[in-house]
């Protein structure tokens, strides 16, 4: 309930923060580091607009002062200027486009890094609720859309506005009546553009959402390919994907329809404007009140006028699409991690016992997974948790590693609440070996070392030797340099386990958290793993989710957990003598 309330207020906050104007301001903020470039590009755009709009006026001068009068003195100079302005505009445009292109790429780079940095900081609850594919879309597609805003959107918008202003200025300077006629069609253009913008904005939202859905489904399908193929779900997956892709296609086609309608409509209104100019200008030339060069210049100017207006609508479109993307990116950036390092960040005290003090925890709402769990692990002690699957054993570990924070109660390390310790400091104390260890697509050595330069090849061989597993890795094609491929698929399950054991042993942390694998491995590896567990636990405070009798017998204490509560505590012998839940589990598990 509390959770739901949280999400609702969160949404309201977002709705309040993301007025388009706020988003635009925030987007503009990303230009700040490159302000010099931006100002230069802006200045050049004004210059380019100037070279552009002055040309029809030169035509007017050529016609009225030279061609119709027959006085050709200075005509060559005028034509020279005409060509020169063409060339200058070309050069200026080239520089401007390069500048804005580079600017866009830099801003995008900054944004990508910010988004990824933020994702790195998020807590596990966040990842429980956000599909990988969607997050990928945020960091790639959505950021790309913003690029368009910075490269073609913003500067081009300013350039078009200044072109329009320039054209209108020259029009009024030459003939205010014709200028007014031209402007008379602007409200119609604006009306069409506004109607269009509304539709497009809605369509863009759908497109962005659709893209995220397609990517999320694609990512999940590729990860789950084995299950899909084995359970012959390929047909189902194809159908589902077709549906998602269809939705995306229809949204994009709707976009095409509106564009298809929009441009001819704008063109049509422009043509009406031109016709009015021709009629009015034509009659007034006949009356002798307007010079023919003015009309020629106007014909050109009207053409030139509608072009930036159309472009503006297009720029606006880019802006809308960028706003849709930015909304998503900013929402992501503004979602704060619930697990943050405490501002107090106390150092971890020397005597590091681990205490769970009346801990209650739920992943969702008040669906309690741990209820009032209390226990203490003294420094150097070895403690095991056993219990039926789903009873909350892994959750205890998730809380100790601060993947999640407790709802009630406290977890203490060395007598200090872990929420008051620096997150880094706590995690630096702990080595975690999970059931299904994650391997990165690099070499075996790289996976054991994990960028810790202190873990040299010699150390890795030493560690493997202590586990009795050096033979296994010597046998690989490229030894320690063998690349394990995607998620370690090049290695067997047992080998992957050994790698993660070696990772923990090489890191040499004070506290070991071990979730013993239940998955079947070959007898040889099973033997190795069994022998390696005591080596791992040596001289360390150890918390183990135990499945092997050999492990259970070597620990100091066993907690039996069922449905989120600790039911029994004692050594193997004591618990067997008690003849309760443990004895029952034990008989089922080890003897059955
Ligand atoms: P065990 O390790 O004892 O098998 P877990 O601690 O993994 O059990 O799970 C305890 C309960 O919490 C289970 O009912 C499980 O469905 C639930 N659970 C585990 N992880 C999550 C999660 N990320 N989100 C929601 N529920 C979860």
Write the pLDDT tens digit of every residue in 292-329: 999 999 998 888 888 888 788 778 778 878 888 888 88
Protein residue with least CA distance to atom 26, ligand 1: 363
Protein residue with least CA distance to atom 11, ligand 1: 390
Quote the pLDDT of residue 14.
Answer: 44
**Beta carbon of 488 within 6 Å of any ligand 1 atom:** no
Shortest-distance atom of ligand 1 to CA 392: 6
Question: How many CB atoms sit inside 10 A of residue 52's CB?
Answer: 22
- Asked if residue 23 lies in contact with residue 327, where contact means CB atoms within 8 angstroms, the answer is yes
Query: What b/e string do you get for 150-183 counting C-beta neighbours within 10 Å, with b at 16 or more?
Result: bbbbbbbbbbbebbbebbbebbeebbeebbebbe
**Which of 419, 372, 390, 426 is closest to 545 using CA atoms?**
390
Question: How far, in Å, is the centroid of ligand 1 from the Cα of 546?
Answer: 16
**Chain segment 349-402, per-residue pLDDT in tens:** 777 899 999 999 999 888 999 999 999 999 999 999 999 989 999 999 999 999
Best mutation site among 122, 125, 131, 392 for ligand 1 pocket (most ligand atoms within 8 Å of CB): 392
Structure-block tokens of residue 393: 């054993």
Best mutation site among 122, 369, 397, 516 for ligand 1 pocket (most ligand atoms within 8 Å of CB): 369
**Beta carbon of 328 within 6 Å of any ligand 1 atom:** no
What residues pair up with 58 in beta bridges, in sequence order?
none
Q: What is the mean pLDDT of residues 494-500?
A: 89
DSSP assignment of 490-556: TS-HHHHHHHHHHHHHHHT-SEEEEE---S---HHHHHHHHHHHHHHHTTSEEEEE---HHHHHHSS
Q: What is the mean pLDDT of residues 572-585?
A: 91
**Beta carbon of 392 within 6 Å of any ligand 1 atom:** yes
- d(CA 247, CA 249) in angstroms, rounded, equals 5
Instruction: Tell me what the pLDDT averaged over the chain comes to.
Output: 87
Its pTM stands at 0.79
Protein residue with least CA distance to atom 23, ligand 1: 128
Question: How far, in Å, is the centroid of ligand 1 from the Cα of 392?
Answer: 6
Under the banding of pLDDT at 50, 70 and 90, the label for residue 485 is confident
CA distances in angstroms from 386 to 23, 308, 434, 527, listed in the order given:
52, 72, 15, 21
Protein residue with least CA distance to atom 16, ligand 1: 390
State the number of CA atoms in the 13 A half-sphere of 486 facing the CB: 2
Under the banding of pLDDT at 50, 70 and 90, the label for residue 504 is very high
**Beta carbon of 363 within 6 Å of any ligand 1 atom:** yes
Strands 430-433 and 511-515: parallel
Quote the pLDDT of residue 486.
Answer: 79
Under the banding of pLDDT at 50, 70 and 90, the label for residue 104 is confident
Question: How far, in Å, is the centroid of ligand 1 from the Cα of 570?
Answer: 24
Shortest-distance atom of ligand 1 to CA 388: 3
Q: What is the mean pLDDT of residues 260-283?
A: 90
Strands 408-413 and 354-362: antiparallel
Which uninterrupted H or E stretch holds 361? strand 354-362
Burial of 45 (0-12, 13-18, 19+ CB in 10 A): buried
**Chain segment 194-243, per-residue pLDDT in tens:** 888 778 878 888 888 898 889 889 988 988 898 898 888 889 999 999 99
């Amino acid at each position: 309930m509390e959770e739901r309330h949280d999400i609702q207020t969160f949404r309201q906050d977002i709705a309040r923060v993301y007025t388009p104007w706020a988003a635009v301001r925030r987007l503009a903020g990303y230009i700040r580091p490159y302000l010099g470039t931006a100002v230069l590009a802006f200045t050049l755009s004004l210059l380019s607009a100037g070279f552009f709009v002055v040309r029809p006026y030169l035509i007017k001068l050529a016609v009225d002062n030279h061609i119709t009068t027959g006085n050709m003195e200075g005509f060559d100079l005028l034509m020279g200027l005409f060509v020169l302005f063409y060339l200058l505009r070309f050069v200026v445009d080239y520089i401007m486009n390069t500048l804005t292109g580079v600017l866009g790429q830099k801003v995008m780079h900054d944004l990508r890094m910010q988004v990824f940095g933020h994702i790195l900081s998020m807590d596990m609850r966040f990842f429980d609720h956000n599909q990988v594919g969607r997050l990928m879309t945020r960091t790639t597609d959505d950021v790309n859309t913003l690029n368009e805003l910075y490269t073609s959107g913003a500067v081009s918008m300013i350039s078009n506005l200044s072109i329009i202003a320039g054209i209108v200025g020259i029009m009024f300077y030459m003939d205010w009546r014709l200028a007014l006629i031209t402007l008379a069609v602007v409200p119609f253009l604006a009306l069409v553009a506004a109607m269009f913008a509304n539709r497009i904005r809605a369509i863009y939202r759908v497109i962005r959402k659709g893209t995220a859905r397609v990517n999320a489904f694609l990512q999940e399908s590729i990860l789950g390919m084995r299950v899909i193929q084995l359970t012959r779900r390929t047909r189902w997956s194809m159908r589902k994907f077709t549906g998602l892709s269809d939705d995306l296609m229809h949204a994009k086609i709707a976009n095409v329809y509106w564009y298809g309608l929009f441009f001819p409509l704008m063109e049509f209104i422009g043509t009406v404007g031109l016709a009015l100019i021709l009629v009015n200008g034509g009659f007034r030339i006949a009356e002798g009140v307007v010079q023919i060069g003015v009309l020629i210049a106007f014909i050109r100017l009207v053409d030139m006028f509608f072009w930036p207006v159309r472009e503006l609508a297009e720029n606006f479109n880019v802006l809308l699409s960028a706003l849709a993307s930015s909304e998503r990116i900013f929402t992501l950036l503004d979602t704060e991690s619930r697990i943050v390092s405490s501002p107090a960040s106390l150092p971890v005290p020397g005597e590091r016992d681990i205490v769970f003090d009346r801990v209650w925890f739920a992943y969702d709402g008040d669906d309690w997974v741990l209820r009032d769990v209390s226990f203490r692990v003294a420094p150097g002690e070895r403690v095991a948790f056993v219990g039926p699957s789903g009873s909350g054993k892994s959750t205890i570990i998730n809380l100790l590693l601060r993947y999640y924070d407790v709802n009630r109660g406290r977890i203490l390390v060395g007598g200090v609440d872990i929420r008051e310790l620096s997150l880094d400091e706590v995690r630096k104390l702990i080595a975690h070996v999970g059931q299904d260890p994650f391997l990165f697509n690099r070499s075996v050595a790289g996976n054991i070392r994990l960028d810790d330069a202190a873990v040299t090849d010699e150390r890795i061989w030493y560690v493997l030797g202590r586990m009795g597993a050096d033979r296994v890795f010597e046998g690989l094609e490229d030894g320690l340099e063998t690349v394990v491929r995607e998620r370690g698929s090049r290695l067997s399950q047992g080998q992957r386990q050994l790698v993660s054991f070696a990772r923990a042993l090489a890191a040499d942390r004070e506290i070991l958290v071990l979730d013993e694998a239940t998955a079947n491995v070959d007898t040889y590896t099973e033997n190795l793993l069994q022998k390696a567990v005591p080596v791992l636990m040596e001289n360390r405070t150890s918390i183990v989710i135990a499945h092997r009798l050999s492990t259970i017998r070597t620990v100091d204490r066993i907690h039996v957990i069922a449905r989120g509560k600790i039911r029994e505590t004692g050594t193997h012998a004591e618990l067997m003598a008690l003849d309760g839940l443990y004895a029952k589990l034990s008989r089922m598990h080890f003897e059955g």
